[in-house]
C-alpha cells in the first residue's frame, strides 16, 4: 500500500478519535493496533471536542474529512427513517450549510476566470456566500444592464472550491486501495463489485469539478421540462460560465425541507409529493436523463400559487443516463412489481444477468414475494424501509446477485426521492402513483407509431448501406470468377448445415408466414403514415424478403 494512502488512513483515524467517535475506530479492521496509539496520545485528548453532542461531533468530523465524506453525510441525511433523529437532523446541515471559504478568495477566482475585475461583469456581487456545499459555494450577483446576454438579471455565481481536485484524487486513491484489498480478501466484496463501484463513483465526482459540464446538464434538463408545469430549471448564462465558475438564474423558492413555511402558505402537499414521483419516472424513462443529486438542499418549491406548486432544482453536477437494455429491464421489473408478478421479476433478473443463469426461478420468486407482499397498498409512513433493505440484502447474498455499478446513481436517486416523499407526505402510495406513468411510457414505446419512428431514424443508415453494397458485391463477384474468393466453410460443414435446414423446414415455413404478415403490416403502416417515396421502398423490401424466403423454402 502506498505511503500516501497509509498516511491518509491514519489521518482519518485521528480525526475520528479527536471528535470522540471512538466507536467508529473500534470497528475499523485496518490498522487496529494503531487506534491505541491515538487513544493514548495526550495531544489527541487535548484536541478532543468537548460539550458537543454525538450528532454534532459526527457532522464536524465529516466536514473536516472533506468533500467525499460530506457527500456521504448528505446521502444519509435524506433517510431519516434509517437514522437516529438527532443524527439525521444534524447531517441535514451538510446539504447547504458547509463552512464556506473566504468570499474575497471567491471574488479573486471569478476575476481570474474572466480575466477582468468582477464589477466589469456584474452590477453587484456579494462576497458573502448565499450557501456553501462540499464542492462549491454560491454568491448572489446582478448582471450589468448593458444589453448583453442576461442583461440586468439577478443571478447566482457558483464558484468551485480551490484545491478540490487534489483533495478528491487523494481520497479516491484511498478508496481504490481499500476496494482492491476488500476484493482480494472477501467474497462478499467481489459479489458487490466494490472496485467497479469506486470506478463509477470516480467518474461521477470528477465530472462535478467541471462547471461547464454542469451548465450543459442544466441546459439539457431545462429543455426536457420546457413546457412542463412540474419542474422549473433555472436558465444558464453560458457567456459567463467557465470550468470553475458558473452563472445562472437566481431561484427564489422555499427549500423542500421547510415544511413549516409550506404549510403556512397552504401549499398543496399531496400534489407536490405526487409530482415528485412523476418527475422521477419522467426523467428516468421518458427522457433517460435524470438529476442524480436530489437531496433537500438542491430542491426548492415555487409556491406563487399554493394550490399548484412547482418544483425548482439546482446543482446539476451529477446526472444519470441508462443503457437502453438496462432501461428496458428496469421498466419491466417495475411493472412486474406493480402487478405483483414476482415470477416475472425473478425471470427478468436471470435474463438480464443480474443473478447467475442457474438460479432457481421459483425459489427467487418466493423470496421476492416474502419481502414485497407485506408492503403493498401501504403508505410510506407504514413501511419500514430499514427492514426491507436488510431483507433485500439477504436475498442478494442468497442468490449471489451481482451489483450493477452502472445503476448505482439511479438507486441513490430513488432512495433520495423516497426519503423526500416520506418527509413531505407520509400518506403517499408510491405504487399507485408510479404505475400509471410507467404503463403509459411502455404503451408509447411499443406503439406502431413509435416503432415506425425508430425505423425512420434508421433509414439514412439503411440507404447508406444499400449504396455501399453494389461495389462490394462487384468486387466479390470478380474474386469469385478469378477463383480468389475463399469462404471459411468446409464441405462437411455445408452437408451438416443442409441436414439442419431440412430438419427445421416446418419452423422455417412458419417463420416465412410470420415474415409475410409482418411486412404486410409494415407496408400498410408505411403507406398510411410515412412520407411519399418511402412506401415504394418498403414494397421493394417486402418483395425481396418474400422472394428469398420462397427460394429457401423450396430447397
Runs of H (alpha helix) within 102-163: 103-114
Q: Contact at 8 Å (CB) between 371 and 391?
A: yes
Neighbouring residues of 522: CB distance < 8 A, sequence distance ≥ 6: 538, 542
Q: At what angle do helices 67-77 and 54-65 cross, to 10 degrees?
A: 140
Q: Would you tell me how many other CB atoms lie within 10 Å of the CB of residue 38? A: 19
C-alpha pair distances (Å), 53 with each of 24, 48, 218, 399 = 16, 12, 39, 41
Contact of 285 with 335, CB cutoff 8 Å: no
How does strand 136-143 pair with strand 290-291?
A: unpaired
* Count of C-beta atoms within a 10 Å radius of residue 428: 22
- 299 phi, psi to nearest 5 deg: -120, 130
- Using a 10 angstrom Cβ sphere, with 0-12 exposed, 13-18 middle and 19 or more buried, the burial of residue 259 is middle
Active-site residue, from 293, 304, 315, 358 = 293
Using CA atoms, how far apart are residues 133 and 96, in angstroms rounded to an integer?
Answer: 5
Strand partners, 319: 291
Closest CA to 12 of 28, 2, 194: 28
Distance from C-alpha of 503 to C-alpha of 499, rounded to nearest angstrom: 6
Residue whose C-alpha cell reads 447474498 in the numeric block? 397
Helices (H), ranges, 186-210: 187-192, 194-207
Q: Are 327 and 285 in contact (CB under 8 A)?
A: yes
Helix (H) or strand (E) holding 382: none
Measure the CA–CA gap between 163 and 156, rounded to whole angstroms. 22
Full DSSP string of 345-367: HHHHHHHTTSS-TT--HHHHHHH
3-state secondary structure 305-332: CCCCCEEEECCCCCEECCCHHHHHHHHH
Helical axes 505-529 vs 448-481, angle rounded to 10°: 120
Whether 362 sits among the annotated catalytic residues: the reply is no
Q: Which residues are catalytic?
A: 293
Amino acid at each position: 500500500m502506498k505511503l500516501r494512502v497509509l498516511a491518509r488512513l491514519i489521518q482519518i483515524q485521528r480525526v475520528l478519535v479527536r471528535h470522540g467517535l471512538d466507536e467508529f475506530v473500534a470497528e475499523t479492521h485496518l490498522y487496529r493496533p494503531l487506534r491505541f496509539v491515538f487513544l493514548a496520545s495526550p495531544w489527541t485528548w487535548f484536541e478532543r471536542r468537548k460539550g458537543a453532542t454525538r450528532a454534532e461531533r459526527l457532522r464536524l468530523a465529516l466536514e473536516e474529512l472533506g468533500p467525499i465524506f460530506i457527500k456521504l453525510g448528505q446521502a444519509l441525511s435524506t433517510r431519516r427513517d434509517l437514522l437516529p433523529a438527532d443524527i439525521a437532523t444534524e447531517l441535514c446541515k451538510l446539504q447547504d450549510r458547509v463552512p464556506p471559504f473566504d468570499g474575497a478568495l471567491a471574488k479573486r477566482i471569478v476575476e481570474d476566470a474572466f480575466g477582468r475585475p468582477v464589477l466589469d461583469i456584474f452590477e453587484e456581487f456579494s462576497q458573502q456566500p448565499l450557501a456553501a456545499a462540499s464542492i462549491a459555494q454560491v454568491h448572489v450577483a446582478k448582471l450589468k444592464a448593458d444589453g448583453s446576454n442576461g442583461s440586468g438579471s439577478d443571478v447566482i455565481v457558483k464558484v468551485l472550491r480551490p484545491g478540490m481536485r487534489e483533495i478528491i484524487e487523494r481520497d479516491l486513491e484511498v478508496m481504490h486501495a481499500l476496494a482492491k484489498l476488500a476484493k482480494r480478501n472477501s467474497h462478499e466484496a467481489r459479489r458487490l463489485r466494490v472496485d467497479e463501484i469506486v470506478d463509477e463513483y470516480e467518474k461521477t465526482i470528477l465530472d462535478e469539478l467541471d462547471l461547464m459540464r454542469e451548465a450543459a446538464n442544466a441546459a439539457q434538463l431545462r429543455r426536457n421540462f420546457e413546457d412542463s408545469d412540474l419542474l422549473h430549471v433555472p436558465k444558464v448564462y453560458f457567456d459567463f460560465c467557465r470550468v470553475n465558475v458558473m452563472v445562472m438564474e437566481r431561484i427564489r423558492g422555499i427549500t423542500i425541507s421547510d415544511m413549516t413555511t409550506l404549510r403556512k402558505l397552504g401549499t398543496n402537499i399531496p400534489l407536490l409529493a405526487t409530482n415528485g414521483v412523476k418527475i422521477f419516472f419522467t426523467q428516468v424513462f421518458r427522457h433517460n436523463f435524470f438529476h442524480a443529486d436530489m437531496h433537500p438542499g438542491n430542491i426548492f418549491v415555487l409556491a406563487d400559487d399554493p394550490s399548484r406548486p412547482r418544483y425548482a432544482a439546482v446543482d446539476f453536477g451529477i446526472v444519470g443516463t441508462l443503457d437502453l437494455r438496462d432501461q428496458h429491464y428496469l421498466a419491466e421489473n417495475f411493472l412486474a412489481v406493480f402487478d405483483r408478478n414476482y415470477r416475472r421479476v425473478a425471470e427478468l433478473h436471470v435474463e438480464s444477468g443480474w443473478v447467475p443463469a442457474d438460479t432457481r426461478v421459483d425459489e427467487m420468486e418466493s423470496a421476492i414475494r416474502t419481502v414485497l407482499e407485506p408492503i403493498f397498498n401501504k403508505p410510506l409512513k407504514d413501511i419500514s424501509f430499514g427492514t426491507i433493505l436488510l431483507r433485500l440484502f439477504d436475498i442478494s447474498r442468497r442468490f449471489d446477485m451481482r451489483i450493477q455499478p452502472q445503476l448505482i446513481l439511479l438507486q441513490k436517486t430513488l432512495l433520495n426521492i423516497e426519503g423526500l416523499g416520506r418527509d413531505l407526505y407520509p400518506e403517499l402510495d408510491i405504487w399507485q402513483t408510479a404505475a400509471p406513468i410507467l404503463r403509459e411510457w411502455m404503451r408509447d414505446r411499443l406503439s406502431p407509431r413509435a416503432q415506425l419512428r425508430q425505423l425512420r431514424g434508421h433509414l439514412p443508415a439503411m440507404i447508406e448501406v444499400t449504396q455501399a453494397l453494389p461495389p462490394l458485391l462487384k468486387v466479390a463477384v470478380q474474386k469469385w470468377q478469378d477463383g480468389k474468393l475463399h469462404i471459411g466453410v468446409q464441405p462437411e460443414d455445408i452437408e451438416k448445415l443442409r441436414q439442419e435446414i431440412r430438419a427445421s423446414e416446418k419452423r422455417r415455413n412458419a417463420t416465412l408466414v410470420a415474415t409475410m404478415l409482418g411486412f404486410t403490416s409494415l407496408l400498410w403502416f408505411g403507406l398510411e403514415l410515412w412520407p411519399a417515396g418511402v412506401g415504394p421502398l418498403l414494397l421493394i423490401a417486402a418483395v425481396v424478403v418474400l422472394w428469398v424466403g420462397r427460394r429457401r423454402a423450396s430447397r
